[in-house]
Amino acid sequence: MKPAQPSTSDTPDVIVVGGGIGGLSTAFALAREGLRVRVLERAKEFGEVGAGIQIAPNCTRILHEYGLLDEAKSLGVLPENMVMRDALDARELTRLDLADLERQYGFPYMVIHRSDLHGIFLRACRAAGVELVNDQAVTGYEQTDGGARVRLADGRTEEAPLVIAADGLHSVARRDLIGDDVVSSEYVAYRAAVPIDAVRGHGVAEKDVTVYVGPRCHFVQYALRGGDMFNQVAVFRSPKASAGRDDWGTPDELDAAFEATCDTVRKGVPLMWRDRWWQMLDRDPVENWVHGRIALLGDAAHPPLQYMAQGAIMAIEDGWVLARHVARLRAEGGLDWDAALAAYEAVRVEHCRRVQTTARAWGELWHLEGGERLRRNAVLREVDPYGYAFTDWVYGPTALFPDEEPAMFAPVPLASARLDEPSAADTPATADAPSVADAPSAAGSAR
């Protein structure tokens, strides 16, 4: 579909604060509807920091609608399987056949470098006429009679009928409008993307996404950029964070966290970048994303822990949903921003709340130890790899209205596990132990 041409007024129809994946994808979605969009980005250049990112069928479906899926395929990798293994003994726990997953949902599961996905949306925005402005630090937000206004660090203000705050986990808008704090999981992530030759001989599965789950740690591996690069993510709970120290998640903790893991994981740990790491933070779900003509979007609205690999996807879905409601209202007689924002909030809040809370539970499940680890493993081995009851709610078509949101799955309690190991049978499951089905099968690998 050829994007509609933006309007020619000097004042934009929409200001998007933040030029990450969420901000750019939303700007593109709205520009396709003929709106004049201005993106204000704090950094001096547009870009993304990080390594690999996973994009599930609920996202590749949107990329297809945007006409961007073929470009994404050319830059990414379509893995064959999603495999979960125990990090201590490397035994397989469960898997998804991703070719069958594509048949189920109509669109593929893909892995891609974060900067490549960001570049796709950046080029799309330029082609659609989005105004992209760098070195613009937004320090505050306020309402106007006909819209909203942003205050910039240099003292200027800019306004539009709608301001979208896509300014991330540490959002200025979230601080001003809601005022809550980030929540620390006490886990930290290390990442690395290395030439594929650096890991050949480590026992890696080049054509799969593999996640090794272990006591208070996990390790993710998959190929990038046509198989020429290999992405690894090491996540562990920091003893320093648990002790209340500020200097937590340091490289010495990384090495200690994976000492008891299997050979493939231990061989991968020395390749991790050691000059940077990411503390795993989220926020509690909130219901009020829209404040007058200021709307939170992406991580500003619903920052998740990474276990379901849905953070960037949810931001892309946010923009798609808002743009679809803009198109719908125009077709019904005229664009009413208040109605569009109400419809956006009505459907997205509940879906993203589910993802946020499920991601927290999934993290607990991955990191179990002792008898609960063995019970988890036993239950996961019983999961039907070709049954999609645990994934339909998240990988199916993105809902536009609340009544289109799929029902959640039925949890499977760990206490139901059938165990052969005497040591596990002698270890009672706690009453508040997580359920295996508190998250979708093996398909929620942290980025």
DSSP string, 216-230: TEEEEEEEEGGGTEE
Q: What is the three-class DSSP state of 309?
A: coil
pLDDT at 134: 96
Which amino acid is located at 206 in the chain? E
Calculate the dihedral angle through the C-alpha atoms of 243, 249, 255, 260, rounding to the nearest 10 degrees: 60
pLDDT at 436: 53
Q: How far apart are CA 262 and CA 255, in angstroms?
A: 13
Q: How far apart are CA 64 and CA 62, in angstroms?
A: 5
pTM tops 0.75, yes or no = yes
Q: How far apart are CA 278 and CA 236, in angstroms?
A: 11
pLDDT at 415: 83
pLDDT at 412: 83
pLDDT at 411: 83
Q: Assign residue 59 a region: left if phi > 0, alpha if psi is -120 to 50, beta otherwise?
A: alpha
Give the whole-number percent of the chain exceeding pLDDT 90: 85
Q: What is the three-class DSSP state of 115?
A: helix
pLDDT at 103: 98
Q: Using alpha carbons only, what angle is made at residue 133 by residues 132 and 137, rounded to the nearest 5 degrees?
A: 135
Q: How far apart are CA 216 and CA 196, in angstroms?
A: 27
Q: Is 222 a catalytic residue?
A: yes
- Return the half-sphere exposure (C-beta side, CA atoms, 13 A cut-off) of residue 30: 27
DSSP string, 152-168: ETTS-EEEESEEEE---
Q: pLDDT tens across 159-200, in order?
A: 999 999 999 999 999 999 999 999 999 999 999 999 999 999
Q: Which of 11, 41, 254, 27 is nearest to 125 (CA)?
A: 27
- Return the half-sphere exposure (C-beta side, CA atoms, 13 A cut-off) of residue 368: 24
Q: pLDDT tens across 389-423, in order?
A: 999 999 999 999 999 999 998 888 888 887 765 44
Could you tell me whether strands 208-214 and 81-86 are parallel, antiparallel, or unpaired per DSSP bridges?
parallel
Backbone angles phi, psi at 128, to 5 degrees: -90, 0
Structure tokens at 35: 């709106």
Could you tell me whether strands 148-152 and 157-160 are parallel, antiparallel, or unpaired per DSSP bridges?
antiparallel
Separation of CA 80 from chain center: 21
- Return the half-sphere exposure (C-beta side, CA atoms, 13 A cut-off) of residue 315: 33
**Residue stretches of the chain with pLDDT short of 70:** 1-9, 420-447
Mean pLDDT of the chain: 92
Question: CB–CB of 337/423 below 8 Å?
Answer: no
Could you tell me whether strands 294-296 and 290-291 are parallel, antiparallel, or unpaired per DSSP bridges?
antiparallel
pLDDT at 187: 98
pLDDT at 435: 54
Q: Helix 311-331 crosses helix 57-66 at what angle (to 10 degrees)?
A: 50
Which amino acid is located at 42 in the chain? R
Q: Please report the sign of the dihedral spanned by the C-alpha atoms of residue 123, residue 124, residue 127, residue 129.
A: negative
Question: Considering 66, 190, 212, 222, which one is annotated as catalytic?
Answer: 222
